[in-house]
Chains A and B, each alone.
Chain A
Amino acid sequence: MNVIEVKGVTKDYPLGKTTVHALRGVDLTVEEGAFMSIIGPSGSGKTTLLNIIGCIDTPTSGSVKVHGDEITELEDKKITDLRLHKIGFIFQTFNLIPVLNVRENVEFPLLLMKKHSKGEITARAEKLITEVGLMEYIEHKPAELSGGQRQRVAIARALVSNPDIVLADEPTANLDSETSESILELMRELNEKEKTTFIFSTHDPEVLKYAKNIVKIRDGHILGQG
């Protein structure tokens, strides 16, 4: 079953008097449980594609279906709900909430859902914090953590709500190799156990090693999917 279906997607950005064509008619299907890496040089459109799949950007034209929902037709509230319940995000620059500690940052998506008990939220958050190896920093604020530690918190936050899809833009770019490996192991474990679909962009050949599917992108075109 396809969790993502992208057909003829284009994305243009106006830049002064010119237009940047970030995506030029992209077709892509992602099956449930995929562990997919999107690779391409800088400016190839991989981040734009991730953003569109993740419903945080809209295409100029084309169709994007996430779990069968045509996201280009959804109103903002439903798209936000979709992001909250179905998609987890890992940003290149961590993007944690500065005033919340590690525990609270990880708990944040569950609290937004308003469907779990306090006990469930705490247990789920602590499990993931332990898995990313930050239990001893659980009460620390982001400013008190290293870059790598912050990214691990971001990964824990992305996974805490058991999303169907996790989108990660260069997830290990700021992690040391040991942590990168443990994180990729964790992601793969979740991918296998929970059938969580992972799509991530990367330059890291180590990350590519873990990918089951690789999509090559250049100048807004998909060159190949395998």
Chain B
Amino acid sequence: MGKSLTFKIAWRNLWRHKGKSLVIGIILLFGSVLMTVGNGMISGAEHGLSENIVNMFTGDIVIVSAEQEKDNVLFDYSGKPLKVIKNYEAAKKVLETENAIQNFLPATAGAVYVLSGADMYPIYLLGVDIETYQKIFPGSIRVTEGRMLRPQEKGILITGEARKQAYDFMNIWLLPEGEELNKKKLPEDVLDGLKDLDTRRDLVFIGASTSNSTLDIRVPVTGIVDFKALNKIWGNYCLVDIESFREAHNYVTGADVNVKISAAEKELLENDELDQFFSSGSVVEKTAISQESISIQDIQAQTKKQTNQYSVDAGSYNIAFVKLKQGASQQKTLRNLNETFKKNQLNVRAIGWKDSVGSIGSMAATIKVALNIFIIFIFFVAIIVIMNTLSMAALERITEIGMMRAIGAQKGFLRKMFVYETGLLSFFFGGLGIIVGIVIIYMLKSANITTTNEFLQLVYGGDKLNPIYTAGDFLLGVVELGIVTILSVLYPLRVVAKIAPLDAISRD
């Protein structure tokens, strides 16, 4: 009875003071639309980032050496190279037997220094078997110039981002081997300095290592590539054949073991008598001059053949990217893998993809926090306006409220009346705001908005704007609206509670 009376009075008061109700309502509507769309965008970005990062680069789980101290193995710019997984073969067997795993890609990741004259600058390389990479991360890269690295071919795929960096740091413009400079494809700043432009079709780099045992190697650029999305993040990593990476970092590899030597070389190596190497005879020996003509092209072809081929083998890796089967639990698989690694003393550990990419993994959460702070600010303004409007409304109704007190209405009744009034406004206008927000989200989703803009890709969580609205977002919205309602009504309630029965008469 009491509740329906309070509700009735509250409801009719809202209609009686339409202007004020509308002002408060519009503020609540605006705030909740913003909150809903914002949360939808962020959820979409969060989901998109997860999807893109998992599907394009890291997989669900990343395997590293247990000696690796930090979890952020892919974007740790401290310069420390990743530790080599010492017993990858044993770890591989564990990965192969884990039911939840769909497939995995062993790789090498780390920095190298590109050498150009006396200068050098760092780039990040991901050494992979390109064939396996494309199977596990299909469609993640597209060639914009040149061609894709062929299976077992030595070469590097330079990302557009890395190409820009090479130009900025070294003033060199990288081109795929066999490609001519196409002015139409050059960015404006490069065109401006065209006269002095130094074009290169290969890179000489040296592995960045703390061990001082790295080598400088020359690797041809086979193509310029872009990742499907998030090039601002992934563009820092160029793809290189795994052997070149190993060579640059002077890894002891399976390929070294497989080198075949001739019988003469074998005999030489087996010979313990060092003196025999320095026996009598002329140091210089006469030889016949070959009349056979050899062209420089033939030599280049032979050299190319020798340097461009290698066998993918069970060599050294410092990272492996693991993709899980649909619906498999990442946490459970992580737990299982780490338990098995530990049990078998493999000195290997598994980490979640979010941890492996450092702050990028929590970027969506960070954006979400920032957006919510902005929404809280909007709501704070709304709270002040609503508080002021309600307080004014209470003071305007002082005679009426005083009379209610005089004829026996407790303070609680009047407080309830004001809470109902604000609650009703929040429910209708806030609720309407949420509905409008959801409609906007679906409109944005169905508009199929795509972007190549790098910053927008971060905001979208990929190359497509794909906002989503989850039950969690709805709950968050309701909680935020509830908080706004409570905070806005607190001060007016104090004003109401201070109205004395005598005010019913004093104001006559």
Interface set of A (CB-CB < 8 Å, partner B)? 47, 51, 54-57, 76-77, 80-81, 83-85, 88-89, 91-93, 95-100, 104, 108-109, 111-114, 118, 157-158, 169
Contacts and interface: CB of A to CB of B under 8 A. Distances in A.
A92 B507 CA distance: 12
Contact of B413 (A47, A112, A169): A112
A24 to B, nearest CB: 20
B400 A98 contact: yes
A32 B9 CA distance: 36
A95 B400 contact: yes
Nearest to A93: B508
Interface of B: 1-2, 5, 8-9, 12-13, 15-16, 399-400, 403-411, 413, 500-502, 504-505, 508
B505 A99 contact: no
Nearest to B408: A84
Nearest to A157: B407
B408 A80 contact: yes
Nearest to B5: A111
A56 B2 contact: no
Contacts of B410: 77, 80-81, 112
Q: Lowest 7 A-B CB distances belong to which pairs?
A: A84-B408, A99-B12, A56-B501, A95-B403, A111-B5, A93-B508, A83-B408
Contacts, number: 84
Contact of A99 (B9, B399, B411): B9
18 contacts: A51-B505, A56-B405, A56-B502, A80-B408, A81-B410, A83-B501, A85-B408, A95-B504, A97-B9, A97-B400, A97-B404, A100-B9, A108-B407, A111-B1, A111-B5, A112-B410, A112-B413, A158-B407
Give the most central of B411, B501, B504: most A CB within 10 Å. Answer: B501
Given A99-B12, A100-B9, A111-B5, A76 B411 contact: yes
A108 B1 CA distance: 11
A93 B406 CA distance: 14
Contacts of A92: 505, 508
Contacts of B408: 80-81, 83-85, 109, 112-113
A95 B397 CA distance: 11
A47 B505 contact: yes
B406 A56 contact: yes
A169 B504 CA distance: 12
A97 B500 CA distance: 16
Contact of A109 (B407, B500, B508): B407
Contacts of B403: 91, 95-97
Contacts of A77: 410
Nearest to B399: A95
Given A80-B408, A80-B411, A97-B404, 18 more contacts: A51-B505, A54-B406, A56-B502, A57-B501, A76-B411, A80-B409, A80-B410, A91-B508, A92-B508, A93-B508, A95-B399, A97-B403, A100-B12, A109-B407, A111-B1, A112-B2, A112-B5, A113-B408
